[in-house]
Amino acid sequence: MVAVTDQSTHPQPLADRSPAELDTFLAEQRSAYEALAARGLTLDLTRGKPATEQLDLADRLLQLPGRATDSSGADTRNYGGLHGGADLRAIFGELLGVPTNQIVAQGNSSLMMMREVLSYLWLKGGVTSERPWAAEERVTFICPVPGYDRHFTLTDWFGIEMVTVPMHADGPDADAIAELVATDASIKGMWLVPTYANPTGSVTSTEVARKLASMPTAAPDFTIMWDNAYAWHHLTATETPSADIIGLCAEAGNPHRAVVFASTSKITYAGAGVGFLAGSSETVDWYVDHLGQGAIGPDKVNHLRHAEFFGSAQGVRDHMARHREVLAPKFAAVQEVLTGRLGGLGVAEWSEPAGGYFVNLDVLDGTASRVVQLAKEAGIALTPAGSSFPHRDDPRDRNIRLAPSFPVLDEVTEAMEAVATCVLLAAAEKLHG
């Protein structure tokens, strides 16, 4: 698990209490839960959705771009330009540390681009493939867990098998991955949210990234799906830079190993932003070539709209600081409630992320489903237990993903108080037996 905050030592851990004390504790929690349920709340901590206040920050977009031609003089309204608008590619190329020819801008969904990439790999094979993946007997992906549910759903849709490795505070367990990929040629790739990972908040260190970039792989076309969804989504003044996976892969002699994704979904509008793909120039050429077999060009007006809005890479950073002002208090509220209510009891561990959209909560083994059920019955929607694992299967039934971005601050506190009550009741039930 990642960064854990359970430093309060005042309460007596539940596991150390006598049966009689546990009786009392259980009765107290039942009573607290009944009071909670009686309030008839309707709160939602399920998904990493930006709050209305965050979306409002970008509302100048609703009247942009105002003009039709970009700085090169290209008419963004017409067909063409498979690579996307050059102005916006330049801005995000700078942010991702790649030249413009190594980045493309596309539609509103980087997830759709990941599907596209998997489609091309599946039907045609990649830059370093010997054959299309569909022609392999078996294709396996490494999934660091807990991880992003939509990655796993998409992987499963393709019929790709999934093998899990632990996610640590400094990224996925690179030694475990290196061992797996060294001999198993069916392992064709891995997922990774490198910065402020969903849901753990982990930041993949350069050391871990270097191992992933350089490890020998039995499959010649082992692909790191580097989903840098939260690269600039800092919650503290420390703006941790992402590891330069493209550079590290090139250095290691595996230049085409990483495909990098990013988007403005959590910078401007979650539903109307711009997705990006970056990689070696060969990877970008490969992507655009296949794309062009069934596409004429992305929405370049939206690219121009975004380029106008940001102005520059610094404009993106400045904009993210405004998001931080909205988000940081909500994440602080989560920490405050968890520490205050659960600290020292030995019934939960949780992450204290420095960025991103999630707090990872690990409750007592075997109680996550019960917590989610209790919360639901009290009107608090939580992501289904197990969601952060392939096939929604959390072998220890302990993981819960908290997403505090969408509700307003008071609701976050209220919802977290409710979650704490549910965690405590489920723990008391479990330990009481």
Site residues, a copy of itself (CB under 8 A): 47, 49-50, 52, 55, 58-59, 61-68, 75-81, 107-109, 111-112, 114-115, 119, 122-123, 134, 150, 153-154, 157-159, 265, 269-272, 290, 293-302
Nearer to a copy of itself, 287 or 350 (CB): 287
Nearer to a copy of itself, 116 or 417 (CB): 116
Nearest alpha carbon to residue 167 among 390, 338, 370, 391: 390
CB of 106 to a copy of itself, least distance (A): 9
Residues 6+ away with beta carbon under 8 Å from 346: 6, 13, 14, 15, 16
358: tokens are 């999630």
Nearer to a copy of itself, 210 or 300 (CB): 300
123: tokens are 């039907």
Nearer to a copy of itself, 115 or 432 (CB): 115
CB of 228 to a copy of itself, least distance (A): 17
Tell me the C-alpha distance between 303 and 344, whole Å: 50
Nearer to a copy of itself, 61 or 235 (CB): 61
CB of 344 to a copy of itself, least distance (A): 37
Residues 6+ away with beta carbon under 8 Å from 358: 48, 198, 199, 200, 201, 351, 401, 402, 403
What would you measure as the largest C-alpha separation in the chain, in angstroms? 78
CB of 64 to a copy of itself, least distance (A): 8
Nearer to a copy of itself, 234 or 306 (CB): 306
Cβ 70 vs Cβ 299: under 8 Å: no
CB of 295 to a copy of itself, least distance (A): 5
Nearer to a copy of itself, 139 or 181 (CB): 139
Q: Is the Cα dihedral 210, 168, 148, 205 positive or negative?
A: negative
CB of 154 to a copy of itself, least distance (A): 4
Nearer to a copy of itself, 112 or 321 (CB): 112
Nearer to a copy of itself, 300 or 370 (CB): 300
Q: Strand (E) positions, 112-232? A: 140-145, 161-168, 171-172, 187-192, 223-227
CB of 46 to a copy of itself, least distance (A): 11
Residues 6+ away with beta carbon under 8 Å from 386: 368, 369, 392, 393, 394, 397, 399
Cβ 214 vs Cβ 245: under 8 Å: no
Neighbour tally for 406: CB within 10 Å:
21
Nearer to a copy of itself, 49 or 341 (CB): 49
CB of 87 to a copy of itself, least distance (A): 15
Q: Which long-range contacts (CB under 8 A, 24 or more apart) does 85-89 make?
A: 85/300, 85/303, 85/304, 85/307, 87/303, 87/304, 87/307, 88/274, 88/303, 88/304, 88/306, 88/307, 88/310, 89/276, 89/303
For the chain, the 3-state helix, strand and coil shares in percent, each to the nearest 5, are 45, 15, 45
Neighbour tally for 67: CB within 10 Å:
10
Cα angle value 72/280/261 (rounded, 5°) = 80
Nearer to a copy of itself, 2 or 229 (CB): 229
CB of 28 to a copy of itself, least distance (A): 39
| Residue bearing tokens 């709050």 | 51
CB of 364 to a copy of itself, least distance (A): 32
Residues 6+ away with beta carbon under 8 Å from 433: none
CB of 155 to a copy of itself, least distance (A): 9
| Residue bearing tokens 């539609």 | 107
